[in-house]
Amino acid sequence: MPITEDGIYDVALRLIEADGVEALTMRKLAMALNANPMSLYHHVPNKEAVLRGATARVGSRFSTRDPQHLPWQDRLRHMLLDFRELALEHPKLMTYCLGRAEYIQPDDSFWLDLTDVLAAAGLPAEEIPRVAATLCATLTGLMISELTGVVQQWATLPSAPGGGPCPAPTRPDLDAMARFVLNGVLASVENHPARVPEQG
Amino acid sequence: MPITEDGIYDVALRLIEADGVEALTMRKLAMALNANPMSLYHHVPNKEAVLRGATARVGSRFSTRDPQHLPWQDRLRHMLLDFRELALEHPKLMTYCLGRAEYIQPDDSFWLDLTDVLAAAGLPAEEIPRVAATLCATLTGLMISELTGVVQQWATLPSAPGGGPCPAPTRPDLDAMARFVLNGVLASVENHPARVPEQG
DNA sequence: ACCTGAACACCGTTCAAGT
DNA sequence: ACCTGAACACCGTTCAAGT
């Protein structure tokens, strides 16, 4: 079968999730595609573009069926938890791309829905981009920390010099920690000084 | 002058802040040290150790004069803002190490002070490591997003499909956004269900 | 003990040559 | 248009040989 751009991104994504981003090589990628390493350069300008393409492919999988009839709190909750689910499905690539710019774009449904929800929450238009940006930053930290394993490591650390280590958090524990952060985010929006609460 | 382990870390840190982590090379590092590339391996096992050493050197600069007489809210505020200042002083290296494990260790004064503050806030001992872990995760996201420039980019994005872009945030704006996240963190701790508020 | 040159096994990418 | 082999300019690291 011939090489296609999307085929390159798909195989790259598979290799990344198997061995990590740092193990991805143009030569290995070509081998997995049964192609000559140099053939890739006829479909893709360079390695950076491969990583960008794989990232975009994951991003396109984010299908938010944003339930617009629900209260904004529930909509925000769904969005952020959906984002987390997607990140947990592609841990290796997401760990990579959460740490650099450009993984959330202005025309992503995630960004559009997020700003829409914040408008529904009663935030004035000029405040929305900055509040949305801080929410994305918080979400970034939660997911990077969970995906790299630091958060599990921290949660296991002793809280006092003499104390023993805590039991490692299980998946339900991590879910609870994510919801704890989420509740803080919701409270921050609710208490934003410029917010005009919806009447009724 | 002879090569020393600390000298290697210091020069590595300088090169990293000048050109970024990905531009650091054992060969360039040796050149900056006026040494043969292979000489480094007599003082350091490999490149990973160089990055770990440089990271530890930045971490040791975190001098928290934790004002224990202040209310826990003020102590927490100081700690997190001090952390941010340190990160802003070493943006390139911090961007790198915030994205991987092990940059906060159990015997770091940052961790010890953080757990101490949470105890002063009235959190039960068994809850402290997990709350501390989520706070570190939030802080990680804020700083990664600020250092990579995503948060500035997001804050500049239009909030509605028809709307124009917002003005780029200035340093005071970024400070305000950091305080916004900080207030959310404080509120999360204050409202933690297991917290026993201090009397008086 | 410390340094060094040559060498090995890799990279990403260019380019001229093939079909 | 698409593919390919050789080659270039790099990497990190090993190792035998030097002082």
The verdict on A11 and A51 lying in the same domain is yes
Nucleotides on strand D lying under 7 Å from protein C-beta: 2-6, 10-15
Tell me how close the Cα of B162 comes to any Cα of chain A, in angstroms: 11
Q: Are both A23 and A78 inside the same structural domain?
A: no
Question: What's the pLDDT score for residue B25?
Answer: 97
Q: Which residue has the higher pLDDT, A28 or B102?
A: A28
Residue range of the domain that includes A16: 5-55
Which of B31, B55, B79 is the last residue before a domain boundary?
B55
Verify that B171 and B103 share a domain, yes or no: yes
Would the CB atoms of B137 and A141 count as touching at under 8 Å?
Answer: yes
Q: Which residues of B touch A124 (CB under 8 A)?
A: none
Q: Which of A123, A163, A32, A182 is nearest to B124 (CA)?
A: A163
Please tell me whether residues A76 and A152 are part of one structural domain. Answer: yes
Residue A60 lies in a domain: no
Tens-digit pLDDT profile for residues B25-81: 999 999 999 999 999 999 999 999 999 999 999 988 887 778 889 999 999 999 999
Mean pLDDT of all residues in B188-197: 93
Residues A159, A170: Cα–Cα separation, whole Å: 18
- B197 occurs within a structural domain: no
Question: Quick check: B1 pLDDT over 60?
Answer: yes
Which residues, by CB, come closer than 7 Å to strand D? A 2-3, 35-36, 38-39, 41-43; B 24-28, 37-38, 41, 46-48
Residue of B153, B154, B170, B183 for testing the chain A interface, max A β-carbons within 10 Å? B154
Whether the per-residue pLDDT at A74 is higher than 60: the answer is: yes
Q: Are residues B69 and B23 in the same domain?
A: no
Residue A197 maps to a domain: no
Contact A141 B144 (CB under 8 A): yes
**Average pLDDT of the residues in B161-170:** 82
Q: Which residues of B touch A188 (CB under 8 A)?
A: 180-181, 183-184, 187
- Do B162 and B128 lie in one domain? The reply is yes
Q: Cα distance from A151 to chain B (closest Cα, Å)?
A: 6
CATH of the domain at B122: 1.10.357.10
Domain presence at residue A136:
yes
- Residues A169, B130: C-beta atoms closer than 8 Å: yes
**Does some domain include residue A196?**
no
pLDDT confidence of residue B79: 94
Same domain? For B33 and B98 the reply is: no
Q: In terms of domains, do A81 and A144 share one?
A: yes
Q: pLDDT at position B100, please?
A: 84
Distance A39 CA to C19 C1' (A): 14
Does A146 contact B137 at a Cβ distance shorter than 8 Å? Answer: yes
CA of B41: nucleotide with nearest C1'? D13
Q: Does residue A138 lie within any of the structural domains? A: yes
Question: Per the domain annotation, does B198 fall within a domain?
Answer: no
Domains in chain A: how many in total? 2
pLDDT at B172: 94
Task: State whether A84 and A127 are in the same domain.
Answer: yes
pLDDT at site A158: 84
Quick one: B94 and B29 in the same domain?
no
Does residue A199 surpass a pLDDT of 70? no
For residue A200, is pLDDT > 60? no
Check residue B65 and give its pLDDT: 76
B199 domain residue, yes or no: no
Predicted TM-score (pTM) of the model is 0.94
pLDDT for B98-149, tens place per residue? 998 778 888 888 999 999 999 999 999 999 999 999 999 999 999 999 999 9
Mean pLDDT of chain B: 93
- Same domain assignment for residues A49 and A70: no
A vs B, Cβ pairs < 8 A, gives 192
A23 shares a domain with A116: no
Mean pLDDT of chain A: 93
Q: Answer yes or no: do A128 and B159 touch at CB < 8 A.
A: yes
Residue A32: which CATH number? 1.10.10.60
* DSSP string covering chain B: ----HHHHHHHHHHHHHHH-GGG--HHHHHHHTTS-GGGGGGT-S-HHHHHHHHHHHHHHT------TTS-HHHHHHHHHHHHHHHHHHSHHHHHHHHTSTTSS-TTSHHHHHHHHHHHHTT--TTTHHHHHHHHHHHHHHHHHHHHHTHHHHHHHS-SSTTSPPPPPP-HHHHHHHHHHHHHHHHHHHHT-TT--PPP-
Q: Is the pLDDT of residue B2 over 90?
A: no
Share of residues in chain A with pLDDT > 70 (%): 98
